[in-house]
Chain A
């Protein structure tokens, strides 16, 4: 299934004000992999995601989805395959009801209403908020909004799910729910986050980005235990690997 492959080759990007956000990044993500992209604030994670989604275009290098290069021309097709969940669900939910919001994507691809309904129902059930379908998105709680935003992307049935900070600003229970949800998805996943415990649970592979470059790329369990590496990149090992704050033991 080569068309689920995502390849980033020699990517470079500078913002118009001259600030170089991505210096040189290359990696390949294969079908079914879940990859956590971590790095300090300003390391270039969000820029990288935007480059992958074609919201920005690289100064040099390229992004390939399957064997198709991300260009203005291929965007409609690329975006059907890649689903991105924004960090702030409020940016993503703008229709009057949850149902319409989840249906927004499929309707844009001119599916007939029966198919749209089926997809919306499936997506809402997958995230467990079928009962909220007629509610207005702005009236939902933080956790419910997040679920709705994820459903809005699932309804497009993407091959690759891209999530920017999926657990930020969630209470512990909602966070747990999102983690279980992510673990349940069979999609290829790319997750950026500072919640390293969540990354450890959901991603088998981790890419560490530091100042626009890849500092490490490999097995999650290994990288997330490497306190020296993580500290040099402005991070620290996941809380669950740290010693107990009361008794000092692991």
Chain B
């Protein structure tokens, strides 16, 4: 029960965070979206054994996070939420890819390298995605997607699904409350009641969704999601985009950790 109410609060937290004012929040949504997409494409483009070369890309989320003044715990928690899934997908790699290589005098399976690379890439992708939503908000993202000519149907689907999750969860919370008050000392819902509980839930949510949709219609909603002000791309946004893309390209072409290493050892030597 408390979990659901908490879950609701947690979901809305991202919306709340997106309302903050910071140098990252102020960047044009479209620019942020494009930067994120390019980032993802570049990170994914690395081969499965290239761990070291991905490392410079940690710099982007770290800097965005620092500048955007977001609270650390809620963001980290959300990232951790996805980790089991990533581990589940990659954990068998060491078994399948059991060629051995020597690393610092230690023989390990190549699978561990691919696993680590998969883990690193996915974590970065998830982090960057969460940061994008937490600094931009779903409404503005939808607007940016429309500018990029993503079809209306998809954008609308995304926005409404996002909105209806609240409707659904609220309904669950209300029903659970009513249930638990008349079923004291029970944990969760008994299996024999679950059928009618879920059925009720679907019917109620549909009803509620219908009313929300009617309210939207009455206020002139025709399927186009209007965000209002069209954010303009100013010099700062442009610099943000160009700066990051340059960094991504350089980090993709040159092996920065190696260069740094050479530079440092060269100086020492």
Contact = CB atoms under 8 A, between A and B. Distances in A.
A204 interface: no
Interface string A51-64: 00101000000000
A138 B220 contact: no
B139 A95 contact: yes
Contacts of A113: 228-229
A48 B63 CA distance: 57
B137 to A, nearest CB: 6
B215 A138 contact: no
Interface string A104-118: 110111100100100
Given A94-B163, A96-B139, A138-B12, A55 B222 contact: no
Interface stretch (B14-22, B75-83, B197-205, B238-246): B14-22
Interface of A (DSSP majority class): helix
A86 B211 contact: yes
B217, B228, B229 interface centre (most CB from chain A within 10 Å):
B228
Nearest to B222: A108
16 contacts: A79-B217, A83-B218, A86-B211, A90-B170, A91-B211, A91-B212, A92-B212, A94-B215, A96-B15, A96-B137, A104-B219, A104-B221, A113-B228, A113-B229, A136-B16, A156-B220
B222 to A, nearest CB: 7
B246 to A, nearest CB: 33
A91 B222 contact: no
A116 B228 contact: yes
Interface of A: 53, 55, 76, 79-80, 82-84, 86, 88, 90-92, 94-97, 100, 103-105, 107-110, 113, 116, 134, 136, 138, 152-153, 156
A110 B19 contact: no
Contacts of B212: 91-92, 94
A93 B232 CA distance: 28
Contact of A53 (B211, B218, B222): B218
Contacts of B170: 90
Given A96-B15, A110-B226, A138-B12, A91 B215 contact: yes
Interface string B143-178: 000000000000000000001001000100000000
Interface of B: 12, 15-16, 18-19, 137-139, 163, 166, 170, 208, 211-212, 214-222, 224, 226-229
A55 B224 CA distance: 19
Contacts of A136: 12, 15-16, 19
B217 A55 contact: yes
A156 B218 CA distance: 10
A55 B15 contact: no
A94 B16 contact: no
A156 B224 CA distance: 17
Nearest to A153: B219
A108 B226 contact: yes
B13 to A, nearest CB: 11
B220 A91 contact: no
Given A79-B220, A86-B211, A96-B139, A107 B226 contact: yes
Contacts of A55: 214, 217-218
Given A55-B214, A91-B211, A105 B220 contact: yes
